[in-house]
Amino acid sequence: MSKSTSAFPVTIAGTGSYVPEKILTNEELSTMVDTSDEWITSRTGIKERRIAADGEFTSDMATKAAEKAMEQAGITAQDLDLIIVGTITPDTPTPATACYVQEKLGATDAVAFDISAACSSFLYAMQIASRMISDGAYQNVLIIGAEKLSAATNWDDRNTCVLFGDGAGAAILRPSAEGEGSILAMEMGTDGRHTSILDIKGGGSACPITAENLDQNLHALSMQGREVFKLAVNAMRTAADAVVQKAGLSADDIKLVVPHQANLRIIDAISDRLAVPNEKVFVNLDKYGNTSAAAVAIALDEAHRSGRFERGDNIILVVFGAGLTWAAAAIQW
């Protein structure tokens, strides 16, 4: 596991999020596959998720989240010099979704690229961005986690289709000014031995899409849920512990934990490990399900806008995803 802290402090100047209008409830899903609200709620905590409209792409949701983050940070698209989008559901395999976002925002001076670390992408992007800012190379960096997972879901597979949803979250990072908080510590980790337990098997060079494998739903997410569950708990616990220690915090110093929103039972295991009570852990997966790269970004924005933390408070972000990948951040707001 790599460890790092920015040499020069970097702050989060604004957050934003967007979710599509259409709500798909557990009850509606129960008419599509053999499942029930009781099963989904008791195993995951999810009650409903959002589904993007037909003509609504990942870049559209990303752009809407970005506009809100820029507004809160008090900057315009012209001020952006770097855009990083984390997604596993890009508008197109190439060019990068970040390029569409740059065009939609009119951020003509910004360099733009995507990263692919599944549900961990937003914190991977945060690490990259904070490094590039602390090097002095970039000033106003937009990081986004955005997904249209409904386009990569096998709607006949009850093991996966009940879990995922669409949405986007964004943040503006820039050098900390006097009196502003900063990112205190970050951790990232990867374990490529478990690539096959959570993946999309088709659509890449290993298995280009054909009519035959489309029929087999190889373009959709597949998952061995029980194995993913165990590894997620271990990796997130370790990463969260590490940033807390590295930032020199104790449980009492933590105002809020904002975890990846995949499963309430995974979230409970993380809060136990950190010895923080449930009211100090932010949960919105009941409304949105697992939106992969977007999940922690949407949660951060909703927690921020609803006043769950303020300037000076310490918060912990922790994520886990396909790869396997994981990451955590300790931030003084």
Least CB distance from residue 91 to ligand COA, whole Å? Answer: 22
SS3 content of the chain, % helix, strand, coil (to 5): 40, 25, 35
Rounded Cα distance between 332 and 313, Å, is 6
Smaller CB distance to ligand COA: residue 38 or 71?
A: 38
Q: Where are the beta strands (DSSP E) in the chain?
A: 2-4, 10-18, 22-25, 48-51, 82-86, 111-115, 141-148, 166-175, 182-190, 198-200, 221-223, 254-259, 314-321, 325-332
- Annotated catalytic residue: which of 260, 263, 304, 314? 260
Nearest Cα residue to 272 out of 236, 224, 325: 236
Q: Tell me if residue 290 is catalytic.
A: yes
* For ligand COA, the closer CB: 147 or 302: 147
Q: Is residue 119 annotated as part of the catalytic site, yes or no?
A: yes
Rounded Cα–Cα distance for residues 296 and 318 (Å): 8
Nearer to ligand COA, 49 or 255 (CB): 49
State in angstroms the smallest separation of the CB of 150 from ligand COA: 16
C-beta separation of 139 from 192 below 8 A: no
Which residue ranges make up the site for ligand COA (CB under 6 A)?
Answer: 35, 39-40, 43-44, 119, 158-159, 162, 198, 223, 225-226, 228-229, 232, 262-263, 290, 320-321
How near is the Cβ of 321 to ligand COA at its closest, in Å? 4
C-beta nearest to ligand COA: residue: 225
| Alpha carbon separation from 257 to 27, 95, 217, 237, 318 (Å, rounded) | 30, 35, 36, 12, 8
C-beta of 329: minimal distance to ligand COA in Å? 17
Looking at beta carbons only, is 203 or 225 nearer to ligand COA?
Answer: 225
- Catalytic member of 263, 284, 290, 314: 290
Q: Which residues are catalytic?
A: 119, 260, 290
